[in-house]
Structure formats: C-alpha cells, structure tokens
Amino acid sequence: MSHSYDHGGNIFTVARTLGVPPDQILDFSASINPLGMSSMVRKALICSLDDLIHYPDTSHKDLKLALAQFHSLPPAHFTIANGSTELIYNIPAMLAGSKALIISPSFSEYVRALNQHHWEARHFVLTPESNFSIDTETLKRTLDAGIDALFLCNPGNPNGMLYPQRVIEKIYSLCLSSGTFLVLDEAFMDFCEEASAKRMIVHSDNAIVLRSMTKFFGIPGLRLGYAISNATIAERLDAMGGPWSVNSLALAAGAAALKDVRHNKESLEYILQERRALVERLVQFKQLKLYPSSANYLLVEIKEGMTARELKERLLPFRILIRDCVSFMGLSDRFFRIAVRTAEENKRLLECLGRIFK
C-alpha cells in the first residue's frame, strides 16, 4: 500500500517532474542545516563502511554515551531510533489509553501513527491571530474531559513558535493532574537548546521528550532520532522497535555529529544571522505576513492575491521549492513555510519573490 506523504523535502519527485537532477533544485521545503553535515560526520561514515559486514550494535552504547555527554544526563535515559518518527509510531503502542490530543497545526505523522494503533486523535487548534499561543485554561478543560496523551511540538512546526519553559511547565502540570501522558516533540530544539524541557521530563513517569538528529545535523537521509525519558520508559521503548532499526552508519554519524562542537556552534550562529537577514527582507513585502520563529524555518502568510499553492507553482520554473501549508490543521491555503538556507540561496529566493510580487 503506497502512501502519498505530504511533507517538505519531496525533492526527487519535483526533480523528475521538472526533468532536472535533484541538486539543481533549491529546496526550501525541508528545514535542514544549510551548512550540511560536519566533516567529522563524513569521516566517521567513511571509516564505518567496513563495519557494514557486521550487524549494528543493538545496545547503541557509543551513541548513548555521546548523547549523555552532550546533554549531561545518564545514558540510561536515551532511546535511539530510526528518526524520531519511529518513536512517534511506537509510543501509542506503549501507552495505555485510546484518546490523544494534538496541539495543532502540527506534524502530520502524529495522526497517522495514532490511527495505526486505533487511537482517536483530536486537535487543539491554535490560531495565527493569537500568534499560536496556547490558552492553558481551555487546555485544562479539554484534558480534564479525559485525554490519555497530549502531543506538543516545541518549537512549533510549521510556525517556529518557541514556547517558554514556564508555559511547558504549566502544560506539564496540567497533564499530571489530568493523568495525561505528555509527548513533547523537540525535533527543532537544537536551534535553541537552552529552552529544552529535558531536565524536567527526564525523571517523569508521565512524559517523554522526542529529538531528531536529522535537521540540525544535516543527515535526514540516514534517519536518526532519540527520546529522553526516565530509564523505565526508555527500556520499554527500546523493546518496541525491531532489533536493528538503526543502522551502523547512522550510529557512527550521530556520535561524530555530537562531538563536532565547532561545526555545531558555527551552524547556530550562521542560521541565526541568516534568519535575521531573511526576516528583514521579507517584512518589506507588503503582500506577506511573517510569524516569529526560533527554528531554522519561517511561516509566511500571503495577505492577498494568490494562494500558497499558486506561489509554489510560480516558483518551480525558477527551480525553487517551498512548502505550502494547506495540509496543516488550522491554516488557510495562504500559508507557506520556507527553510533558512545559505545567504546566496536566500538571496535567490528573495529575488524570485520580488519578481512574482512586483
């Protein structure tokens, strides 16, 4: 059974349609580190090629130790997976219950994963008018009505909104009092690590933090992610996956990525600088409205004239791909998301938008 997954990064299909090689398309639809993978990761991958003759290490020991050092937490609190998406698909099977609430607009895989395990997925829809803020009073009433699991992405995807720790603490305490399990997806938290709720959640019986290693570390094709939770949950989640869902190359790349302090610092500074520059230029378009973002992407609304899908079509001849957000719950057909890419690529996008909106 084939799925048509509606995500960013659908570059191979677009390249085939346009009849050009994928590397000739500027892909603003997937939010990947514009500086790419670290040279230490590249080296680790090459050095690990000969290990492919062996099965991967099912204990994931080296990567767990690297994560432990990186986060200053004991290794027993980490579960390694084939992208955080694998965890999203395993969590509903691990939890007791059948009703989930998703703070939306959000990542589409939550619903798909919940449906696969016969959970009922409901949405707590945030509005662009409120800048996607969460009304905790209304949320409390909704949770008290009997919700078994709450899915929240921070920073928000696709809006890039970073909920401060006190808001996350408040939501977590609401979950505790209503007996709701909190699934906190921090897939883009590497761009603002100091705001992570990992220290609060790591000892909880009632919550888990999901992390992705593909965005910030620039290796989405390898599929690597992890969870931070108490040791009991980590053990249970570990037992859910198949024995070799994470391959040797991904394990080696992950450990190397965490250790390249210099590349990680440069990436953060570069993305911050380029996001700022991109915002400064985009706010000059009177047809566009920008939403504040703490991640490596921006949510943009077209105020008048055309839909996001039409804009996407008009950018394709320039070999530029954006993510229209029509599939996100709570967003109209005028919203699109763009990744923060290199200075030169961002400039090219701005030039093309200038031609279209002139």
Mind listing the pLDDT tens digit for each residue in 324-348?
Answer: 999 899 999 999 999 999 999 999 9
pLDDT for residue 77: 98
Domain shared by 293 and 352, yes or no = yes
Domain shared by 254 and 273, yes or no = no
Mean pLDDT, residues 60-68: 98
Residue % of the chain over a pLDDT of 70: 97
**What's the domain count of the chain?**
2
Confidence of residue 9 (pLDDT cuts 50, 70, 90): low
Structure tokens given for 73: 């937490």
Residue 283 lies in a domain: yes
Residue 212 lies in a domain: yes
Domain shared by 269 and 353, yes or no = yes
Domain shared by 256 and 267, yes or no = no
Confidence of residue 3 (pLDDT cuts 50, 70, 90): very low
Residue 348 sits in a domain whose CATH number is 3.90.1150.10
With a cut of 60, say whether residue 270 has pLDDT above it: yes
The strand pair at 99-104 and 120-125 is best described as parallel
Residue % of the chain over a pLDDT of 90: 90
Residue 1 lies in a domain: no
Domain shared by 146 and 193, yes or no = yes
Record the pTM: 0.95
Confidence of residue 160 (pLDDT cuts 50, 70, 90): very high
Neighbours of 74 (CB within 10 A): 11
pLDDT for residue 17: 84
Among 87-96, 240-249, 284-293, which is the least confidently predicted range? Answer: 240-249
Domain shared by 26 and 77, yes or no = no
Does 158 sit behind a cis peptide bond, omega within 30 degrees of 0 on the bond before it? yes
Mean pLDDT, residues 169-181: 98
With a cut of 80, say whether residue 99 has pLDDT above it: yes
DSSP string, 283-341: TT-TTEEE---SSSEEEEEE-SS--HHHHHHHHGGGTEE-EE-TTSTT--TTEEEEE--
Domain shared by 99 and 186, yes or no = yes
List the domain range (segments joined by +) for residue 285: 11-30+262-357
With a cut of 80, say whether residue 166 has pLDDT above it: yes
pLDDT for residue 89: 96
Domain shared by 172 and 319, yes or no = no
Mean pLDDT, residues 302-309: 94
Mean pLDDT, residues 2-31: 78
Contact in structure between 159 and 336 (CB atoms under 8 Å): no
Residue 4 lies in a domain: no
pLDDT for residue 13: 86
With a cut of 50, say whether residue 1 has pLDDT above it: no
With a cut of 80, say whether residue 7 has pLDDT above it: no
Domain shared by 144 and 288, yes or no = no
Domain shared by 284 and 352, yes or no = yes
